[in-house]
Amino acid sequence: MAGLRMLMDGGNAVDAAVAAAAALNVVEPESTGLGGDLFALAWSAKTKRISALNASGRAPASASLDELKKKGMSAIPEDSPYSVTVPGTVSGWEALLTKMGRMGMADVLAPAIEYAKKGYPASELIAGRWVDSLDKLRARPAGKELLHNGRAPKPGEIVRFPELAKSLATVAEGGAEAFYKGALAKKVARTVQEEGGWLTTEDMAAHKANWVEPISTNYRGVECWECPPNDQGLNALMALNLAEGFDIRGMGFQTADTYHHLIECMRLAFADGARYIADPDFAEVPVKELLKEGYAKKRRALIKPDRALDHVLHGQVPGHPDTVYVSAVDGEGNACSLINSIFHSFGSGIIVPGTGIALHNRGALFSLDPKHPNALAPGKRPFHTIIPGMATRDGELWLSYGVMGGMQQAQGHLQVMVNMVDFGLSPQEALDAPRFKTSVDEGTNLETIVDSSVADDLVRRGHWIAVLPPHGGTFGSGQIIERDPETGVLTGASEPRTDGAAVGW
């Protein structure tokens, strides 16, 4: 509704998306906020072009892989100050509004500030997540700023965040400069350093969001768009390239054949992604080579129709658990697909005293293998799971969509696209349909709403299968807006497995 208010007041899709994302900082604080990162795709109805924004933060200048190895670490702890990179969210909000919005920061943050000051009733789902994060928030004194009278709120209780309201008001008045170069920057840096981390005010001041070229692949006549690395959008595109070589429609909707082939496509894509996706400023990421049909054909040939691959390895190319997602399309056809996250629930668990800001822990995704492309290094951006999506047909916007949920995001994009392109489902049907969650070598989860014969068939083919209840935390949470280019009619759909809504005006 915060986003809808922007549209009703004359704003466009970008204004609406940023306003909704900011409001979610307040009403879903375990998932997103000022202390997180952001990626976005924005479609201009005037130029008929998609712009990609990378507003993820970089590792501090004094980050040291050797230091962590000497401490005996083989991975960066998720609740440690070493997992905190520069928060990129605010730079992303400002970059979007400056380039493609109509409103200022004060306008779009007004609903969020209002909710933080006056309060809102906690939803049942969010209240449950608060309970799960109690130990994390109680581990540090400032955690009480994101609790309700020292505890998790019960469903329906009114929650207020006065400290967060002040931080949002500071950003509303002073923009990104107030966050990265003002008193907030000093508080963020001091908090991380007091925990033993590396982040400094200089690291904060040096940060900026970057407009980058989006990447895409064509799936049966639909151009599917993603942000380029360091995020995992490439995984979704590689999986679609592999799937295009199979007659998925002929295999049938929700059949064992379809599940088997899509699972294997995703496993192969994940293997390549784990090997190659990193910050392109520090490592060569062979995006073009990975998306070539010749490479897809070679990888596709590994898939056997009657047997799961025992071990999935990455290919060789020629040399050369929390998030929120918002989709907005306005009456002129402009669109914004935006994803905003602090990674795990309440991020690192480090709350900046007096600000209500939970610092994310995306740095935990760095590798501590110095030979890996995603190895920790000063000024480097880590591998990111969060990916906004768009799809065009014949040069016109068709879909603005996303599926939240860590590594579920790329496979969520694959499954939504297959549902709509191969099986002709509506946006809501595409989200309602059962989904799988797979990994390279740790088995596959199916939902209990899947026909039991499908699980039995997949087990016979050598898949490791677990059947779990439908839940957004496991199988992802999606939102879709479809646009009819001839009439301009918009069709919205929202995830049935978790909180969410599709609203229009």
Q: What is the pLDDT of residues 451-496, one digit of tens each?
A: 999 999 999 999 999 999 999 889 999 999 999 999 999 999 999 9
Residues 220 and 421: beta-carbon distance below 8 Å: yes
Considering the domain architecture, whether residues 348 and 444 belong to the same structural domain is answered as: no
What pLDDT score was predicted for residue 441?
Answer: 87
Considering the domain architecture, whether residues 182 and 292 belong to the same structural domain is answered as: no
The yes-or-no verdict on residue 6 having pLDDT over 90 is yes
Sheet containing strand 444-447, edge to edge, reads 436-438, 444-447, 465-468
Residues in CB range of 33: below 8 A, 6 or more apart:
25, 89, 164, 340, 342, 357, 358
**105-129 mean pLDDT:** 96
CATH number at residue 418: 1.10.246.130
Q: How many helices (H) and strands (E) does the chain have?
A: 19, 18
User: In angstroms, how far is CA 344 from the centroid of its own chain?
Assistant: 12
Enter the pTM of the model.
Answer: 0.96
Considering the domain architecture, whether residues 306 and 334 belong to the same structural domain is answered as: no
Q: Please report which confidence band the pLDDT of residue 71 belongs to, taking 50, 70 and 90 as the band edges.
A: very high
Considering the domain architecture, whether residues 295 and 172 belong to the same structural domain is answered as: no
Can you read off the two tokens belonging to residue 82? 């070493």
Can you read off the two tokens belonging to residue 192? 């991380």
The yes-or-no verdict on residue 321 having pLDDT over 80 is no
**66-74 mean pLDDT:** 97
Can you read off the two tokens belonging to residue 42? 């924005």
Rounded CA-CA distance 220/218 in Å is 6
The yes-or-no verdict on residue 220 having pLDDT over 80 is yes
Annotated catalytic residues are 323
Cα-based distances in Å from 205 to 98, 180, 187, 256: 19, 5, 13, 52
Note whether residue 373 is domain-resident: no
Angle at 7 between CA 5 and CA 13, to 5 degrees: 125
Share of the chain above pLDDT 70, in %: 99
Can you read off the two tokens belonging to residue 304? 């056997």
Rounded CA-CA distance 484/471 in Å is 30
Considering the domain architecture, whether residues 174 and 217 belong to the same structural domain is answered as: no
Considering the domain architecture, whether residues 295 and 148 belong to the same structural domain is answered as: no
Considering the domain architecture, whether residues 316 and 462 belong to the same structural domain is answered as: yes
> Helix/strand/coil (H, E, C) string of 275-325?
HHCCCCCCCCCCHHHHCCHHHHHHHHCCCECCECCCCCCCCCCCCCCEEEE
**114-139 mean pLDDT:** 95
Residues 11 and 107: beta-carbon distance below 8 Å: yes
What pLDDT score was predicted for residue 318?
Answer: 53
Note down the domain range covering 287: 212-322+390-494
Rounded CA-CA distance 69/376 in Å is 11
**282-308 mean pLDDT:** 96
What pLDDT score was predicted for residue 317?
Answer: 60
Query: Which DSSP letter does residue 23 get?
Result: H
Domain count, the chain: 2
Can you read off the two tokens belonging to residue 32? 């997103």
Note whether residue 216 is domain-resident: yes
Average pLDDT across the chain, whole number: 96
Rounded CA-CA distance 14/45 in Å is 12
Share of the chain above pLDDT 90, in %: 96
State which H helix or E strand residue 505 sits in: none
Strands (E), 136-177: 158-159
Q: Please report which confidence band the pLDDT of residue 202 belongs to, taking 50, 70 and 90 as the band edges.
A: very high
Q: Please report which confidence band the pLDDT of residue 316 belongs to, taking 50, 70 and 90 as the band edges.
A: confident
